[in-house]
Amino acid sequence: MIRKGGSNWVDGENFFDRKTDLEALEERVREGTHTLLTAQRRMGKTSLVRELQRRLAGTGEFEVVFVDLEAATNPADAIAEISVQAKSVRAAWDRIKTGFANLVRSAGGRIEELSVADLRVKLRAGIDAGNWPQRGDAIFAALAESGRPVVLAIDELPILVNRLLKDEAGRVTPEGKREADAFLSWLRKAGQAHRDRLTLILSGSVSLEPLLEQAGLSAQANIFSPYDLKPWSEETAVDCLEALAGSYEIGLTPEVRREMCRRLRCCIPHHVQMFFVRMHDHLRRADRTVATMEDAEQVYLHDLLSVRGQMDLEHYEGRLETVLGRAGYPIALEMLTETAVKGRLDGDTVKRYRAHFASDMEDATPTVEDVLHVLEHDGYLERSDGGYRFVSGLLEDWWRGRHGGNFESAVGAQRRGPGADR
Ligand SMILES: Nc1ncnc2c1ncn2[C@@H]1O[C@H](COP(=O)(O)OP(=O)(O)O)[C@@H](O)[C@H]1O
Ligand SMILES: [Mg+2]
């Protein structure tokens, strides 16, 4: 029985469909192909990888390790995190821990009693800016020789790369570039060295490719074969809503379910789940169990797009700010608002933005091209008729509501030039 999804990843019974994606990724793992899993936020990347690993571990043929680098600020942190998560592979862990003299010395026979947090701190103390590549090599070797083939998932790697590359204003620095280059080329070599015993799956909530392009490091990702995770089809989303309605014993007719999906336009699993959660709350408040078409409209306009509904969507802005930095974010803000307010961003307007933002920006800040690249890659905008439009109806409506109020385009209006009648 499927339960409602919150904001964290889901697996097992709560994981809906994604059959072809699971099959494709399993095939890659069995063939020893390293994967770069890309998709915009909330598409279900983490859930997909977790569920894949759960199933593969269940066959008894594979060992699985899941590493989240969200909190890592440098390569040494990343290696410490991989080490601590490798604990789930017994044979490898026995070798890894003896490699850390400081750990053995301080914890002695009580290593196994340490909490993950303590272990992380102690492992980290044995890794520094000079020895992380050797430490990393030793851990990969231990994993590769653990008996069963290992599926090593590294989530949020792009966040780390972004942190390494850029200063606070979001500019790529020469030093940052050197450090990111060193880490990625180490990862690439390690991945190649153990190809048949260890498969890597990289993923993250911002795209790696535009980052690497910006820094001229694209070649570092070429051992990873990209896999683009798509939104659910309307059919799948409608089926998921039916399954959820069944679990919570509420009535959603096919017509209502289709209307919900039509509103979203792009069926990002998290948005489908959010819509269901709000609908369920709405019916409960109204003391009813069957939803009407009006309910679908009401919940969309007043709950999903409400202040409370926005909490989930604010993450989107946060991530954009992270990737584009203080210099690039205002450009994105302006262009997204223009697109939401006008319904599209046409080619001429893009040209005007190019001229506008080129004039008063220093070097090394993201260009309009860089920003558009990120917006397209991260699933905000898609090309249409020589211009751009929002992919998701929900995101578009929300963005308009939040930023569109007193919006005056910086470039959209010749009307505001001299002689304009205002
Ligand atoms: N296969 C799925 N079945 C049901 N819900 C899903 C599925 N994939 C994603 N979701 C919903 O989307 C949310 C975000 O999923 P997550 O895996 O964290 O996405 P990402 O890692 O791409 O940001 C989950 O909390 C869940 O509500
Ligand atoms: Mg995730």
Tens of pLDDT along the chain (422 residues)? 999 998 799 999 999 999 999 999 999 999 999 999 988 888 999 999 999 999 999 999 999 999 999 999 999 999 999 999 999 999 999 999 888 888 888 887 888 889 999 999 999 999 999 999 999 999 999 999 999 999 999 999 999 999 999 988 788 899 999 999 999 999 999 999 999 999 999 998 788 888 898 889 999 999 999 999 999 999 999 999 999 999 999 999 999 999 999 999 999 999 999 999 999 999 999 999 999 999 999 999 999 988 666 666 777 788 888 888 888 899 999 999 999 999 999 999 999 999 988 755 556 678 899 899 989 888 899 999 999 999 999 999 999 988 998 888 888 654 444 444 43
Position 371 scores a pLDDT of 92
Q: Which of 10, 201, 240 to mutate to test the pocket of ligand 1 (most atoms within 8 A of CB)?
A: 10
Cβ partners under 8 Å of residue 164, min gap 6: 74, 75, 176, 179, 180, 183
Nearest ligand 1 atom to alpha carbon 203 = 21
Nearest ligand 1 atom to alpha carbon 205 = 23
Among the listed residues 159, 204, 162, the one whose alpha carbon sits nearest the alpha carbon of residue 179: 162
- Domain 316-412 coded CATH 1.10.10.10: yes
Position 297 scores a pLDDT of 97
Whether the Cβ atoms of residue 248 and residue 280 lie closer than 8 Å to each other: yes
Nearest ligand 1 atom to alpha carbon 17 = 1
Q: Which residue, chain included where needed, has tokens 């410490």? A: 80
Give CA–CA dist 108/373, Å, rounded. 52
Beta-sheet pairing, 387-390 with 381-384? antiparallel
Tokens of 226: 């990209």
Task: State phi, psi for 153 to the nearest 5 degrees.
Answer: -100, 130
Give CA–CA dist 328/332, Å, rounded. 7
Beta-sheet pairing, 35-38 with 225-228? parallel
Give CA–CA dist 117/102, Å, rounded. 16
Nearest ligand 1 atom to alpha carbon 273 = 27
Strand partners, 290: 251
Among the listed residues 35, 92, 89, the one whose alpha carbon sits nearest the alpha carbon of residue 64: 89
Position 362 scores a pLDDT of 59
Give CA–CA dist 140/153, Å, rounded. 13
Whether the Cβ atoms of residue 398 and residue 310 lie closer than 8 Å to each other: yes
Handedness of CA 307, 310, 311, 316 (dihedral sign): negative
Cβ partners under 8 Å of residue 230, min gap 6: 39, 43
Among the listed residues 236, 241, 266, 260, the one whose alpha carbon sits nearest the alpha carbon of residue 393: 266
| Ligand 1 center–CA 7 separation, angstroms | 7
| Ligand 1 center–CA 9 separation, angstroms | 5
Q: Which of 2, 3, 9 to mutate to test the pocket of ligand 1 (most atoms within 8 A of CB)?
A: 9
Q: Give the closest residue (by CA) to ligand 1 atom 8.
A: 44
Looking at domain 234-304, its CATH architecture is Orthogonal Bundle (1.10)
Give CA–CA dist 371/361, Å, rounded. 14
CATH class belonging to 18-228: alpha beta
Position 366 scores a pLDDT of 80
Same fold, 234-304 and 316-412: no
* Residues flanking ligand 1, CB < 6 Å: 5-10, 15-16, 18, 39, 41-47, 205, 269-270, 273
Whether the Cβ atoms of residue 350 and residue 183 lie closer than 8 Å to each other: no
Domain chopping of the chain, boundaries: 18-228, 234-304, 316-412
Whether the Cβ atoms of residue 374 and residue 210 lie closer than 8 Å to each other: yes
pTM for this predicted structure:
0.91
Q: Which residue, chain included where needed, has tokens 């535009």? A: 210
Nearest ligand (C-alpha, residue 13):
1
Tokens of 125: 């103390």
Q: Which of 47, 157, 159 to mutate to test the pocket of ligand 1 (most atoms within 8 A of CB)?
A: 47
Tell me how far the alpha carbon of residue 63 is from its chain's centroid.
Answer: 24
Nearest ligand 1 atom to alpha carbon 47 = 17
Position 413 scores a pLDDT of 58
Give CA–CA dist 159/171, Å, rounded. 15
| Ligand 1 center–CA 34 separation, angstroms | 22
Position 422 scores a pLDDT of 37
Give CA–CA dist 315/52, Å, rounded. 26
Task: State phi, psi for 55 to the nearest 5 degrees.
Answer: -70, -45
